[in-house]
Structure formats: C-alpha cells, structure tokens
A and B are shown apart, each in its own frame.
Chain A
Amino acid sequence: MSTAIERQIKPIYDALDTNSPKSAIVSCNKLLKKYPKSELIKALKALALLRLGKIEDCLVVCDDVLVQKPTDDAVLTALSLVLRGLGRNQELMAMFEEAYKGQPQNEELGQQTFFSNTRAQHWKNAQMTANKLFKQFQNPKYLYWSITSTLMQARDSTTPPEMKTMLYKLAARLISTAPSPSTDSADKFHLHLTILREVDLDEACKHLETPTAQLIYNNNLAVDELRRDIWAKKGMLKEEGDLARTRISENHDRNWLEFKSLLDAAFAPLAGDAEPSEEARSQCTENVEDIREFLENIKREDGRRDRSASLALVDLAHRERKHGLSKNADRLLDLLQDYVKQMGGKATCFEDITRFLDFEGADLERWTAFLQERANVVVSQETPTELMKYINVQKLLRYNLSAITVDSEVDAANALLAQYLAALKLADDLKEGELHPADDLAILAASAFVSAWSLQEGEEKEGNGGLVYLYRAAMVLEYALTRSKHAYSMRLMVIQIHRLLAAPTPALEHYRALRVKQIQNDTLSHMVLSRASAFSLSGSGDLTFLSECIEANQIYVSNTQDTADYTGRAFLLEKYSQIPGFVDFEDQLECSLHREILKVEHTRMRYCHEIISEDVVDLELIELKAGFDRYQHDNRDFDIIPNYQPKGQPSYYKQTRLFSIDQERNWLRTMMDMYVNALTHASNLDDTVEEKLLIGDRQRPNANTTDRPSLRNWPSEPLAELTPAEAALKDFSDALSEWMKPYHDHARPPPAVVLAEAAKQAALKGGQPLKGIDLAPATNGSAKKDPAEAPAVKDAPESLNVFFDDIKVRLAETFPGRKRAEALHIAGLAQEALLFIVIESLRWKNPTNVKTHKFGALVQHLKAIRAHAIAALKAMAADLQKFAQEEDVSQRKLIQEACAPLPLDHDFMLDVAKKVTDSRKKVIEGVAKGMIKLCSNYNNLL
C-alpha cells in the first residue's frame, strides 16, 4: 500500500475507532471513487455498515471483497471483524484457509487460520492447520495445538463414537513424539494426563510416579484434581488416603478434599459391595478406629482455628452408622452436639451439619431436646456471636420440624419476628455494605409465614383472604431490608412474593437493587423475566419488561462474539488445561435454556406492542426455531434463594413459584411449537430456502453433550408444565393450526420461486447472486399450482370460538377471589390466541392469494372467528378495568388489617401496602388498555 493511500485511509480507521461509522462510510465512498478496486476500503466500508446495523448493504460489500480471495493482512483483519459480527464463522475459516494456502510461509496468517478453525469449533481443520504450522516452523507449540485440537475433536458431539477412541489414541501417540517431555509445564502435563485418562489409565498412573510429576501435582490444583480422578478411576483409594494423611499431618493441608479422601480410604473395603464379607467389615472397623485417632489429634492441634477435623469426625461417625458398623447414634449425637457448641457462632454451622441429620424416633427427640436447651441458654443475643448461635439453633430446630400446621407456623413466625426485632439493637450503626447480623431471623420469620400460607388449601390459600400470611411475610422482609439494605437474599425472597401478589413494580425495584449484570443476566434474570409477559404492559406502550429482556439478552451476544477469542488466547499462551473449559462455557451460555425462554417471552410481549407484518415472519421464524436442535443448559440459579423450610417440605422457592409451576423444557417446547407452527404457515420459507437465505452460520450442535437430548427430542409430556389456561391455549393453537395448514401449504409458492424473488431483490441491491440458485424455474409458469387442486374450504372448528367463550368465563372466575396474577395470565393468553389468528391471516391480506386459490370462503371464516375473538377480548378488557377500579383504598386497608398484628411501624406498613395496590392497579389497568388497543389494531386486518 502506498503511503498516500495509507494517509488517506487513516481517517476511516479513526472514525471506526471512535464509533462514528457514518463518517467512516462517507470517507470510504469518497476514496472508492478514486480507488474503486481497493479491497481494504471496501472491507472497511463493510465493517462500518455492520456497525451501523445496515446488514444487507454490509453483506453486499463483504461478498464483493470475499470473491476476490483477499490475502492482504489489513483486508483480512477488517473482513474477519465483519464475518464474526455476522456470525459467519464458516466463511471466516474459508477466507483464512484460502489466504494461508497462498502464503504458507506467513506464520501470523497460519495462526489466524488456526484461530478461525477453533472459533468455528472445526477441530479437524484446526488439527490440520496446526500440523502444517508445526511442519513449517518446527515450533513444538504447534504440535501441542494439534494434540489439543485432536482431543477437542474427540470430545465433540458431532464426532461418531467409534472415532473418539481412535482420536484419543492419536493424541496420545502425538504427545509421545514431542521433542521434550510434557512435564515441562503444568499445562502440558495436564493435557497429557487428560488424554491418557481416556485411553490408558495404567500409563497415566505411571506418568504420575516420577518426582517431577509429584512436584507438579503438589503445586498445581488443576493437575492434582486430575490425579485424584485418575487414581479414583483406577481404584487407588488406599494410595489416595495415604497421600491425604501425609498432606494433612505434614503439610498442614486443610483442604476438605484431603479429609474426604481419608474417609473414602477408610471405607474402601466396603466400596461397591452390597453384602461385604465379615473380613472386609472388620478391616473397615480397624481403619475407622485408626482414622478416628488421627483426626482427634488433628482436632486437638487445630482447636477452633480450623473445623475440618471436627467435621470429618462427624462424617466418619455418620458413615459408620450408614454402613452398620455402629448401631447406636450416641457417638454421632455427641459429636454433633459438640460441633454445635464449638461452631454454633459461625454462620455456616447449619449448612455444615444438615446432611448428617437423619435421626428418627428417640434419637431425634434427644437431638431436639439438646437444641431446645441451647435455645434457652443462648437466648441473650448480646453479641453477634451469641446471636449467631441462637440463629443456628433456630435453623436446626426448624429443619427437623415434623407436624407443622398453619397455626404452629404462624406462632413460630411471630416468635422469630419478636426475636428479630429484639436483636436489631445489636448493630444499630451498620457500616456501608455490612449486613445486619439479625437478618437470618427475619428470613426465618418470613419463611414461616410463607409456609403458613402454603399450608392453606384451595380458596383459603388462593383467594384474597388467604393472602394474609403472604402479606405478613412481605412486610417482614420489606422492613428487614430497610435495616440491612444489601441483604440480597431477602430481596430475592420478597421478589417472589411480590410476583405472587401481582405487584410487578416493587418486584422489579428490588431486582434492580440487586444490580444484576453481565453473566448474572443469564442466571438471575429469571427472577423477574420468567412469565414476565403476564405482567408486561407492552400492549399499552410501557416497554419496561421488553427492555429488560433486550438488556438481559446482551450477554449472549457478547458470548458469541468474544468468548472464542479467549480460547485462542489460551492456545497462544499454552494454557491447554483451560481450553475444554472455555469451549464448554461458550456452549453452556450459547445454549442456555433461559435464553430460549427469554426469546419466547420477548416475542409474546413484542407481538402485543408491534403490528405483526408479513415482512418479518421469516426472520422471526428462523430466530425462534434456532434453539430447537440443541440441548439447552439450565443455568438459572435457584439455589441462591434461601431455604429454611422444614425437611420434607417444599423449598421456599417451590412454595413461591408463580402458578406453582416452573418454566421448563416442555413448557418451552410447547410455546415454541405454537409460534413456530403459526409462523411457518405465514412464511414462504422451507428448509432449503432457509439454508440459502441465512445470514450467519446455521447454529452448530452442542460442543460436548452427545448424551443429552435436544429440545426437539426432549421426552415429551406436553401438558406437564402448563397451567390449565396454557393447556387450553395449546388446544386452541393445535386446532387452528390443523385447520389452516392445508390452505397455507397449497398457497405457498414453491421454493424455487421464493428463492428467485430473493435473488431478484439481492440483484437489485447490486450484490452477488445468491449461491446455488438457478433462476430458471422462476421464469416459467410451471411452478404455479392448479387452483382446481386447492383443498376445499372447511368450516372452522367450533372449538376455536368456544375457546374465547371459555376463557372469558375463566377470567371471570378469578374475580371473586381476586386472583390477580391468574387474571393477568389468562388475559395474556386470550390476547395470544387472537395473535395466532392474526398470524394465520397474514397470507390472506393479499387479495391475489385469496383469489388465485379461491379461498374467499376461508377468509370469511377467519373474519368471523376474529370478530368473535375481538368481542370476547373487549368484554374481558372491560371486566379487567372494573377489576382494576376495585384495587382501591379498601384493598389497601385489607393489607393493613392483615398485617396489623405485626409489631412494625404503622406508616411503614401503609407505604408498602400502597406500593402493592398501586402496582396492581397499574398492571391490571394497563393490560386492559393493551387488550383494547390490540383489538383495534387488528379490527380490519382482512
């Protein structure tokens, strides 16, 4: 490139760097007049167009450069950014491979080619590129790249099982040819062991025996983890136990894994044998005594500094009982009591020991008596440690509660609340960021109120009057949050309750106070976005929840674009131990169940807001279908919601789920099916057309999940995860879809015609012709179908009209008990049913489609159903408006009365009650308004 051009191009780079793509385009256009053939200027223009969101124009310019098979570094770099942005990883790979073929001496280009292979997760090509690099430049790093690529190919879900072993063996052979031993670095050794673990455990163990290997695993947690796994697979429990003993006693290692190894080794003689011999049992008893003595010494040595040995002794006694080596519970009881006395002042005491608490009968009575006695001893709560002891005892007592009733739970909640309020004085002057030490008492009190609510049955629980304890729980948590504003666990708990109370605004406020960001959008946004469409006011123009969805979705975009870069970086820095984890992480986020749920929720909200037009159905369809053929990882974090409900009772989360049901894979699949069916009818795409019109790559299969079924193949229980109203909508959608299918299938133009039209549009824009499209069929009329073969128009199934009659009644049934959340849910589903009619009608908006195929009667039927639907929706909206009007002072008073017995500030409770009733009124009114708007939007569709 001449200096003159270089100088002229600089402003384009500057404009791109400063995020001014418009000015970059202006500069590009100016320069292109002077240098019309410049690949670099065109590539930069494509990049600017991409950044401006002008995807179609970008495609045209990008294709124009790609056909020139560019080789220049700057052009390749610019184009690689464009192709990555478009999700065209396959083309990116092809571009670099082509360029590298022409310049095999260019090491940098070779590396870029390799990274484009790894980005596309095309491990076979990656291995070949790495081999080429190794042969050419003799750098052992490239041999390791090749070995890692082989390992990754073996792990890949697309690799046939019979190939896998072969690939692992190949990787093992390759690594044995390395010029220096793998023990050169921890990461190379990790790679070596990972491969040997799959093909030759004996060899793996042999490699672990050398002094260098020992030095590595003693200083590297990742290699040590692998060693542990290899030894376990080889059944080397005794060796593992011996090593653990040395580490604990000589190195003062207090990693719990060592204690676990020690215990596993003690019980090794009984492992895997349902009826072990007497000899094995006596050997085991001997081991147990030996380990006990060892642990007691460590416990004495550590005192309160470290609780590992104390807990290991509890674990030992528990296992002893489980294996029938010890008949009575005395020892375990003594150790647990000792543990509570010693460690009760630590917040973790409860979690430490719950897994050992399986006492029954007299043992349970003794344990409970001990705890009750302690509850009296430590009731003073004068220091944070004393308070924590009290809290732990309360948690432990609650854990083993058996015969609970509404009354007993209410009593418990009141007592805990009183203790909470008394303990508040302990930390009157909390520093910024600190949590109040009494928080857990408020959590326990709220849990008991929620439990009381959930123990009620039928109308008593669901109806307005039954919400008394739920209101009290909300009030306790709201109050405690004013005393400890960073107590995230209480926020999560109260969000759940506000959703049950149909008060989305306070729920969202608490959610925002959590400051959820980045990856947490995948794991935590379900707290407010699961079934958010029920609370969304998008129909009446309030896009709050819609925006939340878009914001939450950003994390997936950033994963798709960026994560692969770090995999490349790990190769470059030779951190081979990290590569499988990076690739799996990308997959886990890319194929997130919550992502697909968000997509559906977002579509539902958007369709209430935007006018659905035939222009967008193709893209919508491609987007929705994308997740069907992959396994979806459920990354939603439910464990984060505290649970102190008694053993055997549903968890707090389960008790407070909206409509007592989760959004799971069957729900997702059913909802997606409904939309995909309707959109498929409206669309002219079939699979062959879709393939050619795709902008990015087809979504690749999962990285490493062969044994888990995709959503399409998920064992189906269609109704298991649906509410009754959703099940009714599914029946409606099935009937509508079945009725309409033959007419759409008949009227849909053949693929060749669709493609020809698309090609014509592309040509008009001055781009390259679409790949592999023969325009010929479009020009002759043979593709047209004979109108005589058109299926006869049948009457609409009666069930379609009945659905709207029923759902109106269903809504009315929610009013007497003031089941607000359910009312909103039902109203939303009724709107969705109308939307399905709209989508199914889109094709018939064009009179030619109707006339050509003589479907006039069909349109008349559709019009009649739509009119019936609109009438029903309007009536429902009117009912809802009336329902909203009743969310007035009387309802606020009801909350106040419900909470009156709570010893909390009156004005504070009034404020909370107001927030709840205001939010309810707003959401119910808004939904009603949205329904009316929706009706007027589609009143004259056909």
Chain B
Amino acid sequence: MSVLRPFRPSDLFKFNNINLDIWTETYGIGFYLSYLARWPDLCCMQESPSGRPMGYIIGKAEGTGLEWHGHVTAVTVAPEYRRLSLARKMMDMLEQMSDKVYRGYFVDLYVRCTNELAIDMYERFDYSVYRRVREYYGSMSGGKNRRDEEDAFDMRKSLSRDPTRRSIRANGRDIIVGAHDVS
C-alpha cells in the first residue's frame, strides 16, 4: 500500500531514508534534473500515506532501430519498506510506459554481478542476463570478489513490440563485452 506519484525535484530534500543505503548512490543535482528534464514520465516515487518516501525509480528511453528500449537507471527501496513488492510496482510502471508510450522493444538494466539478491529479484520479474559487461562499476571493497563486483550483468526483458523475443537470449552470462562497448 503506497502512493505512486511522479518524482519531483523537491524529493531530493526528502529521500534520505532511501539513499542512506550502501547500494544506493546519491548523485549530484544535475543527475536527477537531467532525467526529469527529459523523461519525467519514467521517474516516479512511492511514498507511504503519511508522506514518507519509500522508494523510487529513475529511467530513460534510448537506442536506435531495434535497440530502442526503456532503461532502468536506478530502482531503490528504503530498507524498512522492502518485501512489499514496491520494486515490482515501479518496474511495472516503467515497463508499461516503455511499452505503451515509448513503444520500445525491451527494457534493460545493469546490476553488479555480486548483487545476488537483486539478480534473483529481476529474474522473478522475467529479466534475463543478456551479457556480462567487464569493469562497468568501480570497486567497492577491492577484496577477493573484485572482478564480480566491478562487472555488471546487462539484464533484459522483451516488450510487446518484440513478439519473437529477439532482444533476449538464453546464454547471456557467457557473452562478455567491455564497458566501452555499451552505451
């Protein structure tokens, strides 16, 4: 039970309970405003009935030709509001917009190869690994899992405009590309 509403610039003053989290980055003002100035309908906030922020999603539409797709740049839920299907609701919204309004072929997202919880969740949402991107992220700990930490899985889910599901593949984990090969 939550209010789903557009993400607003003033949310930056309120989203601390979501962003004080190791997996959630707080970017410069320009990051949020550049998304809102271009894809405001792909950015939304979930809040509790009392007005407390619960989670948000920030997305964009990009690519050309058959690569035209929706992209999840950030999706995050405050620790106290996890296990309430909020991420699913926000992903549903972004998929629906990418499908109906932007008419994209698929939706994709990047996730650290070490973030098993998130990978499991996206798989439950019907995303599958399309490729592994080398050194996409900076290192977090520099420890033994450094390679997995720095590498990202590019995960995709096809939309209604791709009825033959050509934008996904079964052996994605074996396909490895460099960070410079992706947008």
Q: Which residues of A approach B to under 8 Å, CB–CB?
A: 186-187, 219-222, 225, 254-257, 259-260, 305-308, 311-312, 346-348, 351-352, 355, 431-433, 435, 486, 488, 514, 517-520, 522-524, 555, 558-559, 562-563, 565-566, 569-570, 573, 575, 577-578, 581-582, 584-585, 588-589, 635, 637, 639-640
A339 to chain B, nearest CB (A): 11
A575 surroundings in chain B (CB, below 8 A): 36-38, 40
B135 within 8 A of A: no
Nearest chain B CB to A691's CB is how many angstroms away? 31
Contact of B79 among A219, A222, A435 (CB under 8 A): A435
Tell me whether A519 and B83 are in contact in the complex, defined as CB-CB below 8 angstroms, given that A221-B6, A566-B34 are known contacts.
Answer: no
Task: Map CB proximity to A onto B66-107 as digits: 1 under 8 Å, 0 otherwise.
Answer: 000000000000011111110001000000010011000000
Q: CA of A781 to CA of B39 in the docked complex: distance in angstroms?
A: 66
Contact B17 A640 (CB under 8 A): yes
B26 touching A257, Cβ below 8 Å: no
Asked if B64 is at the interface of the complex by the 8 Å CB criterion, the answer is no
Cβ of B146 under 8 Å from chain A:
no
The yes or no answer to B121 lying at the interface (CB within 8 A) is: no
Is the beta-carbon distance between B101 and A581 smaller than 8 angstroms?
no
Determine if B171 is an interface residue (Cβ-Cβ < 8 Å): no
Given contacts A256-B3, A346-B83, A637-B14, contact A563 B23 (CB under 8 A): no
Taking a contact as CB atoms closer than 8 A, the residue among B9, B29, B52 that contacts A518 in the complex is: B29
Known: A221-B4, A582-B33. A518 touches B27 (CB 8 A): yes
Known interface pairs A519-B13, A524-B16; A308-B1 also in contact (CB < 8 Å):
yes
Smallest CB gap from A255: residue in B: B4
- Asked if B50 CB lies within 8 Å of chain A CBs, one says yes
Contact A578 B37 (CB under 8 A): yes
Query: Does B10 lie within 8 Å of A584, measured CB to CB?
Result: yes
Do the beta carbons of B37 and A256 come within 8 Å of each other?
A: no
Bound CA–CA A222/B3 (angstroms): 13
Contacts A257-B3, A347-B82 given; indicate if A220 touches B37 (C-beta within 8 A): no
Q: Give A473 to B30 CA distance when docked, in angstroms.
A: 40
Residue from B19, B22, B81, B100 within 8 A of A520 (CB atoms): B19
B104 CB, min distance to chain A CBs, angstroms: 15
Other A-B pairs beyond A259-B1, A563-B29, A569-B38, 14, CB < 8 Å: A221-B5, A225-B6, A256-B3, A256-B49, A257-B5, A351-B80, A486-B22, A488-B21, A518-B27, A563-B33, A573-B37, A578-B36, A581-B10, A585-B33
Q: Which residue on B lies nearest to A633, using beta carbons?
A: B13
For B41, list chain A residues within 8 Å (CB): 186, 220-222
Tell me whether B169 is interfacial, beta carbon within 8 Å.
Answer: no
Interface residues on B, range: 35 or more
Tell me if A639 and B21 are in contact (CB < 8 A): no
Q: Which residues of A contact B79 (CB under 8 A)?
A: 347, 435
Rounded to whole angstroms, the CA-CA distance of A581 and B40 in the bound complex is 12
Q: Are the C-beta atoms of B44 and A221 separated by less than 8 Å?
A: yes
A385 vs B48: C-alpha distance in the bound complex, in angstroms?
A: 21
Interface pair A255/B3, CB less than 8 Å apart: yes
A588-B13 contact, Cβ under 8 Å, with A219-B101, A221-B5: yes
Residues of B within 8 A of A (CB): 1-6, 8-10, 12-14, 16-17, 19-23, 26-30, 33-34, 36-38, 40-41, 44, 48-50, 52, 79-85, 89, 97, 100-101, 117, 140-141
In contact, B38 and A311 (Cβ under 8 angstroms): no
| CB pair B17 A522 closer than 8 Å | no
Sample (30) of A-B pairs whose CB atoms are under 8 Å apart: A220-B41, A221-B4, A225-B6, A254-B1, A255-B3, A257-B3, A260-B49, A312-B1, A346-B83, A351-B48, A351-B50, A432-B22, A432-B140, A488-B21, A519-B12, A519-B29, A524-B16, A558-B28, A559-B29, A562-B30, A569-B37, A569-B38, A570-B37, A575-B38, A578-B40, A581-B8, A582-B9, A582-B33, A585-B9, A640-B20
The 6 closest A-B pairs by CB, nearest first: A585-B9, A566-B33, A488-B20, A308-B1, A570-B37, A433-B22
- Residue in A186, A260, A581, A637 whose CB lies within 8 Å of B13: A637
Chain A residue contacts of B84, Cβ below 8 A: 307, 346, 348
A221 to B4, CA, bound (A): 8
Complex Cα gap A570–B27 (Å): 19
> Do A486 and B49 touch (CB < 8 A)?
no
B residues within 8 A CB of A517?
26
Q: Which residues of B contact A578 (CB under 8 A)?
A: 9, 36-37, 40
User: Chain A residues near B3 (CB, 8 Å)?
Assistant: 255-257
**Beyond A221-B6, A588-B13, is A518–B28 a contact (Cβ under 8 Å)?**
yes
- Max chain A CB contacts within 10 Å: which of B33, B100, B141? B33
Task: List chain B residues, Cβ under 8 A from A518.
Answer: 26-29
Rounded to whole angstroms, the CA-CA distance of A519 and B4 in the bound complex is: 23
Q: Hey, which chain A residues are within 8 Å of B83, CB to CB?
A: 346-347
Residues from chain B with Cβ under 8 Å of A582 in the complex: 9, 33, 36-37
Residues of B within 8 A of A522 (CB): 13
- A residues within 8 A CB of B12? 519, 585
Cβ–Cβ < 8 Å partners of A305 in chain B: 85
Taking the closest CB of chain B, its distance from the CB of A687, in whole angstroms, is 33
